Chain A
């Protein structure tokens, strides 16, 4: 304990002058803390909300779901439940065109025909309020606001769905348990189940989903029901979800998402740490003589070290506390940023563990990043008070290596703690380490080469400005790291976003489709073609769609394979899913054969029709070329032989298939057709949709431009959330930059006073600073952008497996923008260096 009270009082007195200089740096810790506190508090708020609404998220205790009408056996079971007092609601969902007769506008929608008292838990809010309760009282429809806007209708207007008419009675504001971004794809329209037959669409629709919602008296009766019927439901290929499962799924999804965003926020904390280390490094250099004096008059190594550690610790704690405060403010804004991904209303409340955790993490990070440069204080010899030229001992001590290890372990632990799982955390920590090292290396190499190859004949301004970057006590590397990291995040995000969006873009070439017409019945093919011809639009392709399920694999029944839980090679979903297969004799441009042989015109060898499987599906099914699959096509069984595997580019917005049959094998089975066409302008597309809907109410027209918009808006929502968190890193980087300028202010003022004394004008000093900061910005921007390109390339080609395209101009703009911003911030913050008259400055320095 000896020396501590002295250290405390010295730290208190010394702190008066360093508070201002170091305080700014502690602000960079604040932003990292704010990022973590806000996202972790928010996660806790959302999970609490999910937990408290629990059953409201499903609206019932159990949902049953099937892609075919419920079989009689199930219907009988449900009827018996109803008579035993268990309430059941039904819903049928299907895609359809909605036509507004008054405005003659059409739009693809998701119709939901509801019956019963759903929801049993939670409330569906409408505008005007209370319209959900009256939905069943007539031919009413409740629609999403987006549908209202696109059809240019108002509440009270009539909508045509198939052959039925409904009056728009209100708008859907919120349905618990549904994500807002889902509605971007197909607007929802709720109609009373009693009138669904009037639409005439259930028979022709290929994407109907039949659902039943059950309310049980308690958990036990629900469990009893499931235990008694689990096997039966599986056999009938009925999927089910309980409120508990949904709660768990939502909790996990939210948790993963917010934890990922937290990782992005962690970068800000790392940069804050780098800023702190950099500031303390310069701070220590300025304190060496004070340290020597104290040592000389009898303070021990430990005492002197404590003086500065206390100061740093206290400032770190203050910076961290400020961060907690900012975090609370940010927490309040997060529901807006992440609105699209929230399945329910989130009420904000303070989360004590997140606040305390953030406070401690921030203080700890500040302290360990302080230790690295601060340990140098221990090497100061008291002899340095007597002779200035005395050299401090060189090389890293064991303690410094230990501090470095503490930094690495802390960052790795924080990554793992923040990440959704161990592996992601470890990977992120590794990525952080690699990115930091590369930025560091990059800055170092560029500085080295610039110094080496700086032309001797360059003007004085340029030479002096660039020389400033490697002056003693420079913070070039720290600033490059801090600013570069922010730019790196933004560049990576931008490159990935651009590549995803441009890949999904509707192709501009005239032979590519822009409209997809589906659910065309066999007898409607010609009629649809005539509508296209009348409008002068091309018929690019017509593809048959045959809905089917797998009934046997190599002669073994699917239900039997599913019961065999020891078989871990196979995934379950390909065996239970509803396939939409097609048949044709040629490959299309979005696919290629990777194994086996595509069929030619020759006869089938053993009488079995050949099929071609998408290669990932084949591996999930664990089948090889020559294996047999028996299909159940609406009751008809057809055995087939696998002839080839294909690789399919799913990113193309056009019909692609898991399974393609050899032509001729599916004659006579129930099938619908998909037709592709292209209309250049929005008006042409709208008019075609109207013509088709008027002539064939059951045919659904998907406007690929609208789908593309929807996807882009989802990608943008995701990018916005990530950018929001990345913003903390950028801001941290800027604070480090401003802090670096503030720290070197006295050195610069001294130099500029000297230059002025030697006869330099303000302009010259300004130009030297401009050169220095512009170069620093170019350096940091280049480092970040180049690294971002590589990271973006890795994500696009390795994760999304897409071809990579570089958005050159935008990246160059990002780079130059960084340089301009850095130069502006630099000049703005050093304005008094070249503005104030020398004497005023000298007096100020003396304080």
Chain B
């Protein structure tokens, strides 16, 4: 199992009130699985994604990410785990505005190299290849602001796969795109996921995207709603 979440609970205190965002979440994701987390706004989708990726600590319960118990790791150790095994795609692309497309894609590789990893030449070749695979070979020196939304998200996809992550987390990857562009991005995401043999966990509102997942986890009011007709 690549992700095991047990009894996850997340509570925030806001204005003196306890606000339970997630409760009693148990989830298992198999290697190379493709899970879509769906649900209405405020149902706790993004919070769950954050907990699974180790971006935040749960109030209760724990997460095993690629056999690592996140609750036993420090913040920097979790960061290292992400750098080495996790990729991210965000709703609003989240490219670093001061870096070119190529430099953005290179960031994870360089980060990993600085943690004691691999050859730079290889990283650049791979970054160029990935940009080629998302169809942006001619835009590598452009800054995010010079790219359209769809192009930015394709750069983000290239970045997400740069380190050959075992797990990819995507937060509403098509949420800021029009239908047509969104479809292109989904196609790319699904294809890269298959080619790279990555486990994909994504949060989405988009029924079309959710439909392509192997499994749908439906959240409502912080709980997982049983999904009788999900194909497993």
A residues near B (Cβ < 8 Å) are: 2-7, 9-10, 13-14, 16-18, 289-290, 292-303, 381-383, 385-387, 845-847
Residue B145 CB within 8 A of the other chain: yes
Tell me if A386 and B111 are in contact (CB < 8 A).
no
- Of the candidates A4, A9, A297, which one forms a contact with B83 in the assembled complex, judged by CB atoms under 8 Å apart? A297
B108 and A297 within 8 A (CB) = yes
A sample of 9 inter-chain contacts (CB < 8 A) reads A10-B107, A292-B94, A297-B83, A298-B81, A298-B111, A300-B79, A300-B80, A385-B94, A846-B145
| Residue numbers in A under 8 Å from B76 (CB-CB) | 300-302
Most buried by B among A4, A292, A296, A298: A298
Bound-state CA distance A303–B115 (Å) is: 10
A382-B114 CB under 8 A given contacts A13-B99, A14-B98, A289-B94: no
Report if B90 contacts A (CB, 8 A).
yes
Residue pair B116, A386 in contact (C-beta under 8 Å): no
Closest to B75 in A: A301
Given contacts A4-B114, A303-B114, contact A18 B98 (CB under 8 A): yes
Is B5 part of the contact surface with A, judged by Cβ < 8 Å?
no
Binding site of B, secondary structure by majority: helix, strand, loop or mixed? helix
Answer whether residue B56 sits at the interface, using C-beta atoms and an 8 A cutoff.
Answer: yes
Closest chain A residue to B96 by CB distance? A290
Q: How large is the interface on B (under 10, 10 to 19, 20 to 34, 35 or more residues)?
A: 35 or more
Return chain B residues, CB-CB under 8 Å to A382: 55-56, 79, 82
CA of A4 to CA of B82 in the docked complex: distance in angstroms? 18
Which residue of B is nearest A15, CB measured?
B98
Contacts of B95 in A (CB 8 A): 293
A385 contacts B79, CB within 8 Å? Answer: no
Do B50 and A290 touch (CB < 8 A)?
no
A503 to B110, CA, bound (A): 71
> Residue of A at shortest CB range from B94?
A293
For the complex formed, measure the closest distance between the CB of A314 and the CB atoms of chain B, giving whole angstroms: 15
* Candidate in A3, A7, A289, A292 with the most chain B CB atoms within 10 angstroms: A3
Tell me the smallest distance from the CB of B26 to a CB of chain A, in Å. 22
A17 x B98 contact (CB < 8 A): yes
**A residues near B209, Cβ cutoff 8 Å:** none
Q: Is B46 touching A3 in the complex (CB atoms < 8 A)?
A: no
B49 on interface, CB distance cutoff 8 Å: yes
Residues in B48-62 with C-beta less than 8 Å from chain A = 49-50, 53, 55-56
Roughly how many angstroms separate A292 CA and B82 CA in the complex, as a whole number? 13
Q: Are B50 and A386 in contact (CB under 8 A)?
A: yes
| Residues on A with beta carbons closer than 8 Å to the beta carbon of B81 | 298
With A17-B98, A385-B94 given, is the CB distance from A298 to B116 under 8 Å? no
Q: A290-B96, A386-B46 are in contact. Are A5 and B55 (CB under 8 A)?
A: no
**Contact of A297 with B82 at beta-carbon distance under 8 Å, contacts A6-B110, A14-B99, A385-B90 already known:** yes
B111 contacts A297, C-beta separation under 8 Å:
yes
Mask for B66-104, Cβ within 8 A of A = 1, else 0? 000000000110011111101110100011111100010
Closest B residue by C-beta to A388 = B92
Complex CA distance for A5 and B75, rounded to whole angstroms: 20
Flag if A387 contacts B88 (CB, 8 Å). Answer: no
Task: With both chains docked as a complex, state the minimum distance between the C-beta of B77 and any C-beta of chain A, in angstroms.
Answer: 9
Pick the contact of A385 from B88, B112, B146 — CB < 8 Å? B88
Are B107 and A5 in contact (CB-based, < 8 A)?
A: no
A607 shortest CB reach to chain B, Å? 93
Q: Are B114 and A2 in contact (CB under 8 A)?
A: yes
**Nearest residue, chain B, Cβ from A845:** B145
Q: Is the CB of A294 within 8 A of B115?
A: no
Residue B113 is within 8 A (CB to CB) of chain A in the complex: yes
- For B115, the chain A residues whose CB sits under 8 A away are 2-3
In the bound complex, CA of A484 to CA of B29 (Å): 62
